[in-house]
Each structure stands twice: as C-alpha cells, then as structure tokens.
Amino acid sequence: MNILVTGGAGYIGTHTLVELLNRGHGAVVIDNFTNSRPESLRRVREITGKSFALYAVDVCDEEALSRAFSENAIDCVIHFAGLKAVGESCERPLAYYRNNLDGMMSLLSAMGRHGVKKLVFSSSATVYRSDVPMPVDEDSPLGSINPYGWTKFMCEQMLRDVVAARPDWSVVLLRYFNPIGAHESGRIGEDPSGIPNNLMPFITQTALGRRPALRIFGNDYPTRDGTGVRDYIHVVDLALGHVAAIEYAEKNAGCEAFNLGTGQGYSVLDLVGAFERVNGVAVPCEIAPRRAGDPATVYSRVEKAEKMLGWRATRTLEEMCRDAWRWQVKNPNGFAE
C-alpha cells in the first residue's frame, strides 16, 4: 500500500516508517518539524535504503494536505502528527485543541475529497479513566484529566462519528501505552527538546551525566515498591503494530480500538534497575513528591490486538533499556548537528 504518514519525522513516526518501508509499502511523509528535524528522515532513508516524498507542511493546512493527496496515489493514512506533552497541554490548552483537533478535521476533510477511506490514528492510554481496574481493556470507560488526553478522546469520538456516517470507511484507533527504546541500529530514537518529561529519556540523560539525578515522582503509591507502574513497550514493537493495523484496515471496514502494550507493568525502580544492570551504568536517583495527575498503575490487556491484528509485543524490558542507551550514547545531542 502507499501510505501517507503525518508526523512521520517524530519518534514513533520514524520507527514506523522503517518497518513500513522494510515491509515493501510506499510512504509519503507530512511533517512541519514543530517537534522534530529533517535529519531523522534522512536516517530513515539511510537505514532502509528507500526514498519517499516529504511535504514540510502543517496538517491543519487543508490545501497543502490536498496537494499531497492529489500528487500521490494514497491508499491509507497513519496520523501521528500532534502535540503530546501533558504538562504543556495544561499550560497552553488552546494550542493543543487547535493543533490536534484542527489537524484531525483538515485531514478527514482532505481524505473525503480524495476518496481515501482508511486511517490509523495515534491514540493513547490516557483516553482511559484513571480509576478503571487494571489491566485495562478496550471497553473500559473513557475520560481524561488533561487537555492533551481530551484531544485524543475527542479525535476518537470524531472518528467514530465519521465511520457511523460512512460505514465503508476503515478506522483503527491505536491506544499506545508507554513507548521507549530505539531502533537497534542506534541511528534513530527519541529526541525530546529541552528537559525531558518522560522517564526513559530522563534516565538516559542522567546516565550520560547531562542531568545530576533522576527525580522519582513518589515512592508511596500502592504498588510493589511504592513507585508508579507502567506498561513500557519497545518502539519497534509499537511500529510493527502499525504495520498490522494498516493490513487490518485494508481488509475490514468500521472503527476498532486496540491497546498496544505488552500487558506487563513495571515500576520506576524496575526500569531503573534493569537499565543499570543491562548497560553497566549508574543512574543517580532521588525521591521527589508525586507528580500531579499521575495514576499509580497503568497496564494493558492485549488479547484484542493479538486476536484481531495478529500482533503482539515481543521485545523485553532489557532490550528496551539496551536500545535506548545505544541511541543516547551514539547521539548525545539527538539529531542536532
């Protein structure tokens, strides 16, 4: 298939592009580089030896999107483009609603104009209410506690409504748990700007000496060791989940949601311990107060994706730690020169 990948220059987008191209699919990328650099796409070309067209435009710009559709025969879209920092979304809610909702609406409108009916959407585990029992399955009640999560919730609703009106459309909602790690080549990986919000980039930057210590947000949660538990998934497994999803969308109409996780919960201390053990480096830590809005435990039920997509995550926590560290060591400044 020929796939339009919005946000293709970002962390999950680049890893997915590699797996799509390796699988023999064609790609056209849209990215405005608001949270990425063209160098990441150059490296995707280097890893795969394949080329693809790039439109350096905003997904909210429907005319620019329309050009990408009319100049390429697109079969399916994967929509990664969006702003994703939970804390920033609380400070700048309108920027998040504007970017993530306008982007979704412009894309759906351009798809409609060009007769493209298959879409895979980057949703998130944050669309589940935080008080649901764990592991969480796809039928659990939805809700959010921050503007970022609400944008994902609203995009999902928009997509369910579009499919209700147009039953010949095929939409796959992928609810990611916590992607970490990097491609095993060490050429692409997560490249957060400024001080990382997420745990793994903070761990790798601390191990490298760029940060004095990892602050562990709370050790008094009702978990095994008191620290927060999450379902960490290797970004390459997540990327392969997208390949399975577009192949599912090719054959099935309707709107379906799938969790993409491993089904395993690990605590902050589990992750730090595995990282130190596998890589033989120290990660200085200090205990800090809980971070506002963090639930104690989040992990997924994965049976639906296994059954319907024929996909499951296979990479271990150790592989996630090893690959994240390889990327960080080889690229101490990420994709910057």
The residue ranges that bind ligand UFG (CB under 6 A) are: 84, 86, 124-126, 177-178, 197-199, 202, 214-217, 228, 230, 268, 291, 294, 298
Cβ proximity to ligand NAD, 286 vs 327, nearer residue: 327
Stretch that binds ligand NAD, among 4-12, 65-73, 255-263, 323-331 (CB under 6 A): 4-12
The reply to whether 148 belongs to the active site is: yes
Residues 236-265 that bind ligand NAD (CB under 6 A): none
Cα–Cα dist 330/334, whole Å: 9
Out of 148, 176, 221, 299, the active site residue is: 148
Instruction: Tell me which of 58, 156, 231, 270 binds ligand NAD, using CB under 6 A.
Output: 58
Please identify, using beta-carbon distances, which residue of 43 and 230 lies nearer to ligand UFG. Answer: 230
- Min dist CB 273 to ligand UFG, Å, is 14
Q: Smallest gap, in angstroms, from Cβ of residue 59 to ligand NAD?
A: 4
Stretch near ligand NAD under the rule CB under 6 A, chosen from 33-41, 133-141, 246-254, 307-315: 33-41
Of 72 and 146, the one with the shorter C-beta distance to ligand UFG is 146
7 contact choice in ligand UFG, ligand NAD, none (CB below 5 to 8 Å, kind-dependent): ligand NAD
| Residues involved in catalysis | 148
- Residues that bind ligand NAD in the complex, under the rule CB under 6 A: 7, 9-13, 30-36, 58-60, 80-84, 99, 103, 122, 124, 176, 178-179
